Amino acid sequence: MKKYVLKRLLMAVATLLFVLFILFCLMELMPGSPFNNPELTPEQRASIEAKYGLDQPFWTRYVNYIANMLRGDFGVSYNIQQNMPISDLLAKRFPVTVRIGLQAVALGVTLGLLLGVVAGFNHRRAADSITSAVAILGVSLPSFAFALLLAYFVGFQWKLLPFLYSTKQPFLSSLLPSLTLAVSPMASVARYTRSEIIDVLGQNYITLARTKGVGRAALTVRHVLRNVLTGVITVIAPSIVNVLTGSLVVEKAFSVPGIGGLLITAIQENDYNVTFTLAFIYCALYILVMLTVDVLYGLIDPRIRVAKGE
């Protein structure tokens, strides 16, 4: 187990360094320099460059860059809010995104499990068909379609919930964005749970348990759900990734002041510094999620670490 975790950790660090290297190279390639003022004499420019470490060799600057990024010193924004440190830009927005994301995952997984269990135990009945239809819609339809429908009908026409995020009602106005984001995890968890339950119900040990006279409740909880739930974590991982990606769409659609919306603004305003910082943060979050899930799964299911690690 130790070897497996160590290996995954090493891979995660390598990926992160690779991402930083790519971002650093792109920064170098991007045209323009912050010190293009024609009034600067060559001496002044040299002294400014020395001050910011721009006269150092490539690898020294790369190491400095990594150190700065990991310390949370991302530099300043160029266009969005001139000379505002990016960490300040992020400080308020990051919690909003995380909150909506966590709400979405919690909501999606809970609903998905419920739907999946109902469908799985009612295989080939109406409940099953309805759930399957909901699941396939949730998997296939793009997130902005849901964002649009929810914002237009629930928010605008029926006025049940606010369709624009407001800092005055952080909970109420975060419901629609969370709900939109929850659709994808809900659908994939429901699909997975359903087919696993149907699979497990056909296994010999279930027949054995039934023959031995195990009650319906005990059978469901101890024999079926226990075997199904360990696997659900594998589908939660890609769903969290979808939630990360979806946060861009949803934050734009509902005007949420989070990092996804900031990234879109940065792209449109050509603020490279902010864009690259957010790219780094998204990658770091992604790598963290993947690492956690892999390690958790290795803990739960020993077969995985044998297959992947040793």
Partner 1 sequence: MDKQELRLTPEEARLTGLSREEYTDSNFAGHSYLHEILITLFSNRATAISLACIAVIVLMAIFAPILSPYSYREVHSEATNLPMRIPGLEKLGIFDGTRAGVDQYERHGVPDEYHYFGTDNLGRDIWTRVWTGTRISLLIALLAVALDVLIGVTYGMIAGFFGGRADLIMQRVIEVLTGIPNLIIMMLLLLVMEPGIPTICLALAITGWVNMSRIVRAQVLRIKGSEYVLASRTLGSPAMRIILRKILPNTMGQIIITFMFSVPNAIFFEAFLAFIGLGVPIPMASLGTLINDGYKSAMLYPYQVLLPAAVLSVLMLSFNLLGDGLRDAIDPQMRSM
Q: Residue 135 or 182: which CB sits closer to partner 1?
A: 135
Our CA dihedral for 76, 82, 83, 84, rounded to 10 degrees, sits at -70
Partners of 85 in the β-ladder: 76
For residue 48, what are its two tokens? 């400014």
| Minimum distance of partner 1 from residue 212's CB (angstroms) | 26
Task: Restricting to residues 140-159, name those near partner 1 by CB under 8 A.
Answer: 140-142, 144-145, 148, 151-152, 156
The yes or no reply on residue 87 touching partner 1 (CB under 8 A) is no
| Minimum distance of partner 1 from residue 123's CB (angstroms) | 7
For residue 208, what are its two tokens? 């054995």
Q: Are 100 and 181 in contact (CB under 8 A)?
A: yes
The yes or no reply on residue 282 touching partner 1 (CB under 8 A) is yes
The yes or no reply on residue 136 touching partner 1 (CB under 8 A) is yes
**Judged by CB under 8 A, which of 237, 264, 295, 304 binds partner 1?**
264
CA–CA dist 19, 65 (Å, integer): 12
| Minimum distance of partner 1 from residue 157's CB (angstroms) | 9
Helix, strand and coil content of the chain, in percent to the nearest 5, comes to 75, 0, 20
| Minimum distance of partner 1 from residue 33's CB (angstroms) | 17
The yes or no reply on residue 237 touching partner 1 (CB under 8 A) is no
- Using CA atoms, how far residue 250 sits from 26, 203, 230, 282, 294, in Å, is 28, 42, 30, 16, 27
DSSP-assigned letter for residue 159:
-
Partners of 76 in the β-ladder: 85
| Minimum distance of partner 1 from residue 28's CB (angstroms) | 12
**Judged by CB under 8 A, which of 4, 12, 182, 236 binds partner 1?**
12
CA–CA dist 163, 185 (Å, integer): 22
The yes or no reply on residue 126 touching partner 1 (CB under 8 A) is no
Residue with tokens 């659900």: 232
For residue 117, what are its two tokens? 């269990």
- Convert residues 241-260 into a mask of x (bound to partner 1 by CB under 8 A) and - (unbound): x--xx--xx--xx-------
| Minimum distance of partner 1 from residue 265's CB (angstroms) | 9
Q: Which stretch binds partner 1 (CB under 8 A): 21-29, 37-45, 75-83, 94-102?
A: 21-29
CA–CA dist 276, 266 (Å, integer): 9
Q: Which stretch binds partner 1 (CB under 8 A): 82-90, 98-106, 135-143, 208-216?
A: 135-143
Q: Are 237 and 228 in contact (CB under 8 A)?
A: no
The yes or no reply on residue 10 touching partner 1 (CB under 8 A) is no
Q: Positive or negative, the Cα torsion across 202, 208, 212, 215?
A: negative
The yes or no reply on residue 94 touching partner 1 (CB under 8 A) is no
| Minimum distance of partner 1 from residue 297's CB (angstroms) | 16
Q: What are phi and psi of 296, to 5 degrees?
A: -60, -45
CA–CA dist 23, 17 (Å, integer): 10
Q: Residue 135 or 225: which CB sits closer to partner 1?
A: 135
The yes or no reply on residue 273 touching partner 1 (CB under 8 A) is no
List of residues contacting partner 1 (CB under 8 A): 11-12, 14-15, 18-19, 22-23, 26, 29, 123, 136-137, 139-142, 144-145, 148, 151-152, 156, 195, 198-199, 241, 244-245, 248-249, 252-253, 263-264, 267-268, 272, 275, 279, 282-283, 286-287, 290
